Amino acid sequence: MITENYMVRVTTPFFYTLEFLVALGVFLLVFYLFARNIDKKSLLVFIIAGAINTAIEFMLQGLGMRIIEDAFFFNTPIGFPFICFILGFYEGGVKTLIAYHFVKMIINSDKFNKKMVVVLVSVVFISFFSYSAVTASGYGSPVYTTTARDMFAPLGIILLSIAFVGSAGYFLLRKIPREHKISLLYYELGLVIYLLVWMIPLHMFSLRYIGAFDMGIYVPAGVLEQLVWMYGYFLFFEGIGVIIVVYPIIYGLNLMEF
């Protein structure tokens, strides 16, 4: 088993534009639901989650824990701090909305939230499967940028651990109904669903993988390492931990309905 595990990402100039377009489409959907008085809370959840994750991106990129290179907004190169807003409202707003409606679907068992989960999951999967397939085919001779981050940076692990402990403590230490406490687990499961439909296409087409740095290149790890670190460590620790703190906030603001 390799000892140096990096999360390797291969992107093209269109990648962050795609995230922007998906986030914009989801925003327009929840704004329509808000304006038509169908669903007043999803828009607030999207904005709050997006703002929180944007702040997290400022922190991570400001500390050098997350480095974004060769990012483009359509054909215009962008960098810090502008890229933080795209990442914030895509990875924060869209991801949280899927988990939010998944919790409500489990608890309320209503058709509206089931439809929202299906629509949002479908949009993410179709968008990134199409992007991954076209990018991997080399259509249009795309410019590839390869970046990597150390998955075991001590500061990152400490911050993620604090996020898990703080979020769990918020529910476990409060005198609230047991169903409310368990809803945190439903939220985490909703995040896992999002991560899978977003990550599998990228991983399938080798645009995101676990690798080791060797002789100036990132060498993909073996199957066992991919499963352990991508579908174990990243899926259930990093991917959830970076946004788990949003749920206690939207719960505390009474945006959940039980």
Report pLDDT for 69: 80
Average pLDDT over residues 190-219: 91
Question: Would you say residue 3 has pLDDT above 70?
Answer: no
Average pLDDT over every residue of 72-101:
93
Q: Report pLDDT digits (tens) over 141-167.
A: 788 888 888 888 888 899 999 999 999
Question: Given pLDDT bands bounded at 50, 70 and 90, which one contains residue 138?
Answer: confident
pTM for the model stands at: 0.93
pLDDT band at residue 2 under the 50/70/90 scheme:
very low
pLDDT band at 169; cut points 50, 70, 90: very high
Q: Where do the structural domains in the chain lie, given as residue ranges?
A: 6-252
Spatial distance between the Cα atoms of 62 and 129, rounded to a whole number of angstroms: 31
Label residue 80 by pLDDT band (50, 70, 90).
confident
